[in-house]
Amino acid sequence: MREVAIVGAGMTRFGELWNQSLRQMFVEAAAGALNDAGADRVDSMYVGCMSGGQFTGQEHLGPLMADQFGMTGVASVHVESACASGGVALRQAFIEVAAGVSDLVLAVGIEKMTDGADVTNVLATAADQELEVYYGVTFPGLYAMIARAHMHTYGTTEEDLAWVSVKNHRHGAKNDKAQFPTEFTVEQVLSSSMVAEPLRLLHCSPVSDGAAAVLLCPLDQAKQYTDRPVKIVGSGLATGSLALADRDDPAFLDSVQKSGERAFKMAGVGPRDIQVAEVHDCFSIAEVCCIEALGFVERGKGGPAAKDGFTAIGGCIPVNTSGGLKAKGHPVGATGVAQAIEIFRQLRGEAGARQVENARLGLAQNMGGSGASSVVHIFQGV
């Protein structure tokens, strides 16, 4: 396998982008990545999107996006793993460069959620139709059950969860790409309207449009494009049971643990070696479960991590310095690539007011559904 680096990144602002279509957002993000690297071509593209078909009536995004980007003819493939689609696009691009099949590969994540689709029901197609959705459950309900299980087993409190949102909004307030760059207090979170008990509005990531792109090439060609490439040193993908009811412990995310172990093994490092991480906080409880499964804290000890400052900028392991899905926004297919961009910026020292000092190794973890798929990448500044 060849060593692989990210040499450029571009993204749209996340938010309700009513004046930009799916294809316009794609071009903005993709052109941003190529411009960042000073590249004028790509050999191949991966487009991570949960459902162009259901959200906007458009499938076949691989060729459409190549065409719109003026690259008609290049290999271009759409990949989907629900909200982990972006992370999977990055992984496929990594594998293609590592294999030696292509040199310059673009990984783009994208989603257009505000075009009038019934968002909650479209998202629910990522859960088990026969065992879950048929009975009426949607994702806020599934994550509420995870939260209840975590509270019951480990004593995690509503205030613990509120601190995840408070911390991520503090970080996101420093990110000009964020949909909600606004700080909130614990009291505001705890008095926001109830969505699915114990999860309130300010525990939930928003409905968003957006696109994010990174350009990959073999490490030994990276200096053609940038003085500061970021190497991908680990990639791990794992699945778990689609239905929550099929899991031994609904408060623990097996797929996150497995995908993390695989990425750590490839990189030859462990969780203590990571200085900055983006994890999948679609709901505040998700961040708690993810930092446990990744080994940043012990199992059952994730609840107070935000309140204690452990995961804040300046803490032991800053998590979601971008604002996370909560504050930055969550255009589902785009999220995994946007996470990688945050780590890319951090490792290059370009994260501005939210810069983590002396960050050398970073991690991004992107998850689909209630944790049925998870993909982890580990990055190293060069």
Would you please indicate which residues are annotated as catalytic (active-site) residues?
83, 330
Contacts with a copy of itself, 5-44, as mask; x by CB under 8 A: ----------------x-x--------------------x
Amino acid at 25: M
User: Does position 50 bind a copy of itself by CB under 8 A?
Assistant: yes
Shortest Å, Cβ 104 to a copy of itself: 15
The rounded distance, in Å, linking the Cα atoms of 104 and 109 is: 17
User: Does position 216 bind a copy of itself by CB under 8 A?
Assistant: no
Q: Which two tokens stand for residue 142?
A: 């599934």
Nearest residue (CB) to a copy of itself, 347 versus 378: 378
Residues in region 150-179 near a copy of itself by CB under 8 A: none
Residue 109 pairs in a beta bridge with: 48, 212
User: Does position 58 bind a copy of itself by CB under 8 A?
Assistant: yes
User: Does position 72 bind a copy of itself by CB under 8 A?
Assistant: yes
Q: Which two tokens stand for residue 321?
A: 């310095």
Nearest residue (CB) to a copy of itself, 101 versus 353: 101
Report the SS3 class of residue 171: helix
User: Does position 119 bind a copy of itself by CB under 8 A?
Assistant: no
Q: Which two tokens stand for residue 161?
A: 């969860």
User: Does position 117 bind a copy of itself by CB under 8 A?
Assistant: no
Contacts 24+ apart (CB under 8 A), 299-303: 299/252, 300/153, 300/154, 301/154, 302/156, 303/150, 303/154, 303/155, 303/156, 303/157, 303/160, 303/161
DSSP letter assigned to residue 83:
B
Contact 255, 135 (CB under 8 A): no
User: Does position 346 bind a copy of itself by CB under 8 A?
Assistant: no
Contact 99, 214 (CB under 8 A): no
The strand order across the sheet containing 230-239 reads: 44-48, 105-112, 209-218, 4-11, 230-239, 373-381, 361-368, 276-278
User: Does position 79 bind a copy of itself by CB under 8 A?
Assistant: yes
User: Does position 342 bind a copy of itself by CB under 8 A?
Assistant: no
User: Does position 54 bind a copy of itself by CB under 8 A?
Assistant: yes
- # chain residues binding a copy of itself, by CB under 8 A: 61
Nearest residue (CB) to a copy of itself, 101 versus 194: 101
Nearest residue (CB) to a copy of itself, 96 versus 287: 96
Shortest Å, Cβ 316 to a copy of itself: 29
Binding site for a copy of itself (CB under 8 A): 1, 21, 23, 44, 50-54, 56-64, 66-67, 72-82, 88, 92, 95-96, 98-101, 122, 125-130, 133, 237-242, 246, 254-255, 258, 368-369, 372-373
